[in-house]
Amino acid sequence: YNFFNKEANPGYYTSSTYFGKAGDILTLAISAQHQGDGYGTATQSGSFTGYAIDGLFEKPLANGAAVTIEGEYKSFDISTSATSPVFSMFDGSAYFASFAYLIGNQTGSGQYQPYVRYTGNNPSVGDSSSLTEVGVNYVISGQNLKLNLNLTSGDASASGIKGVDRTTILFGMQFQI
């Protein structure tokens, strides 16, 4: 639900920011799904239940600055009688929160946007994991062109299962046509 300005995206889109260009944004969403035999195979099926709650707040400030706050909580539950999983699927809860500040006034051909993000995973089986990311974007043309430098620290993996605890420095570029 859009409380202030309506997001222009044609559906759920993970832009996470409009860099202050869309005005005041406060969007909250809740979703839920249940499938009785939505997991496994015909002979070893199980049920799937999932729900998610997420929100995005963005406030444009003077001189082209903007504050962006985003968060999400989701929970997935797999119930099956199979003695071993038919295929790997995350079962548990996960969440993230992020805060970004787009610094007003252009520096060179873009604007700096420092940010911090925290992600936590709590699987039903196995150890919990987390990842903290601190970084800065150099925004040249919104989501179409930006550079990113960040430092991540933690043990969260893409699967949601605890991985190796490590600290990483990354540099990246996003270019969209």
Could you read off the pLDDT of 80-90 as tens digits, one per residue? 776 666 556 67
Per-domain residue ranges of the chain = 25-175
pTM (predicted TM-score): 0.86
Q: How confident is the model at residue 25 (pLDDT cuts 50, 70, 90)?
A: very high
**What is the DSSP secondary-structure string of 132-165?**
EEEEEEEEEETBTEEEEEEEEEEEE-TTSSEEEE
Determine the Cα–Cα distance for residues 169 and 177; give it in Å rounded to an integer: 27
What confidence tens digit (pLDDT) does each residue in 62-107 have?
999 999 999 999 999 988 776 666 556 678 899 999 999 999 998 8
Quick one: tokens of 70?
């985003």
